[in-house]
Amino acid sequence: MKKIYKFALILLSTLGLILGNTSTSFSKVEGDKIILGAAVSLTGKYSSNGVHTQNGYNMAVDRINSMGGVKVGGKTYKFDIIYYDDESNPKRAAQLAERLISQDGVEFMLGPYSSGLTKAMAPVTEKYGVPMVEANGASRSLFTKGYKYLFAVLAPANLYLDVAIRTAVELNGGKGVKIAQAFEQDAFSQDVRLGILDAAKETGSEIIIDDKLPKELNDMAATLAKVKATKPDVLVVSGHTKGALTAIRQISEMQVDVPMLAMTHCDAAKLSKQHGKNAQYALCASQWHKTLTYKDKWFKDGMTYDKDFNEMFGYAPPYQAAESSAALLVFKDAFERANSFDQKKVRDALAATDMQTFYGNIKFAPGGQNVSKPMVLFQVICDSSGKCENKVVAPLKWASAKLIHPMPKWSER
């Protein structure tokens, strides 16, 4: 009797597995749905930015579907996304890419959050010839491997702080400046560093401090003491959120006077919220800012996007969300121009993309990076009541405030 039970149990569970699998097995297009696959970090160390990425995707899916969807071959389709949680782990991300493609049958992918995870997934999507539009992997090495199916809507990492150096040189009457820099040892920050090296070479600037911060370090006191002793014209820091927060804390504590401070990841770090007036005058590189005047049909412009996103998710969209929404707009545009769901045709259509979105102009270089959208720099500026705001100061075309340079000395604040 027991044996029969056991047998029945095994039979049932096998059946369950088979049925379960077939019912969750997707193909690229089911009925009127185009199904995209995405692995994003919902847990682990990237989970806050992973959630911004997912919210950005969801907002765009919602908007495109409610405004008529995607028209291919005279038929209207709606977007749908299968999500998996990659746990902020590159190995897991690569496995999930494999799973999305070979088990779930997805034929078009959206990118994960961070350069590291995108790097892990790109070889898989490339192997299967699955077009992937990503919005959160800026590392230069993604675009030098000759990938044919990878497209990034954001500017590559080496351009993040390029503008800052050029602005400093310009303010110095075209003469080279002395640069002190501290970068975390991760793919992204080291790419930002390479960008600075290029800019320094072109402008005849000199790099006098070049520190590489270990990942586990949250103390920059030694670097800052060197800065104090050598008095550079520009201090550049890139070490994700932790680097930005640590830098501001220790610069204010040690009263380091430097004419220009340029950083990355300021808005993710909520600099002015966590540090108040101590964060004032810091320059931050950003992919997007709501006051930029780019326009499109779906989200209208940055201010409207900001308002709508706020209504839907209850917080102001960081640039990570905006660029993720833009990725969906690129896919929609490519599907309609390809007028087909053939991966090769969609890939060619993606490569020929030339459009404006609320997030910026999008046109891909042969390596897959977006070359027609410059980075913007904003400066943290506080009013007398202590309320701080990020104001765009460069490039001049979009500047909503004048750059305050040099930064006032601590003794005069």
Partner 1 sequence: MDLLIFEAPILMVQASMDGILLGILFALIAYGMALQWGVMNIINIAQGDLVILGGYIAYFMYLYGIHPAWGVIVSPIIMYFVGVGIYKLVINKVVDRDLFISILATFGISILFMQLMNFAFGADVVLAVSGYGTTMLFDNSVTLPNSKIFAAVISIIFAIGLIIYMKKSKLGRAIRATAQNARAAKILGVDTEKVYAATFGINAALCGVAGALISITFTIHPYMGLPYTIRSFMIVIVAGLGNLPGVAISGMGLGVFEEFADYILGTEFRIGSVFLLLVLILVYRRFKLAKKREYLK
Which residues, in sequence order, are bridge partners of residue 355?
362
Of residues 247 through 306, those in contact with partner 1 by CB under 8 A are 249-250, 253-255, 269-270, 274-276
Contact with partner 1 (CB under 8 A) among 114, 158, 189, 241: 241
214 near partner 1, rule: CB under 8 A: yes
d(CA 211, CA 220): 10
222 near partner 1, rule: CB under 8 A: yes
Contact with partner 1 (CB under 8 A) among 223, 272, 320, 390: 223
339 near partner 1, rule: CB under 8 A: no
d(CA 158, CA 195): 4
Q: Radius of gyration of the chain from Cα atoms?
A: 23
Residue closer to partner 1, measured from CB, 62 or 211: 211
| Alpha helical stretches, state H, 1-75 | 2-24, 47-66
Cis peptide bond N-terminal to 90, omega within 30: no
Contact with partner 1 (CB under 8 A) among 61, 132, 245, 279: 245
Residue closer to partner 1, measured from CB, 133 or 284: 284
Residue closer to partner 1, measured from CB, 150 or 269: 269
One character per residue 133-172, x = contact with partner 1 (rule: CB under 8 A): ----------------------------------------
Contact with partner 1 (CB under 8 A) among 144, 230, 310, 340: 230
Q: Write b or e for each residue in 282-306: b if 16 or more Cβ atoms lie within 10 A of its Cβ, otherwise e.
A: bbbbbbbbbbbebebebbeebeebb
Of residues 59 through 98, those in contact with partner 1 by CB under 8 A are none
Kindly state the smallest distance separating residue 239's Cβ from partner 1, in Å: 10
Kindly state the smallest distance separating residue 240's Cβ from partner 1, in Å: 8
Q: How far is CA 359 from the centre of its chain?
A: 12
13 near partner 1, rule: CB under 8 A: no
Residue closer to partner 1, measured from CB, 114 or 291: 114
228 near partner 1, rule: CB under 8 A: yes
213 near partner 1, rule: CB under 8 A: yes
d(CA 328, CA 332): 6
Task: Find the farthest-apart pair of alpha carbons in the chain and give their distance in angstroms, rounded.
Answer: 93
For residues 289 and 302, the answer to whether their CB atoms sit within 8 Å is yes
Q: Tokens for 252?
A: 């204010």
User: DSSP class of residue 386?
Assistant: S
179 near partner 1, rule: CB under 8 A: no
Strands 283-286, 206-213: pairing is: unpaired
d(CA 232, CA 368): 36
Residues that bind partner 1 (CB under 8 A): 43-48, 182, 185, 208-209, 211-214, 216-219, 221-223, 225-226, 228-230, 241-242, 245-246, 249-250, 253-255, 269-270, 274-276
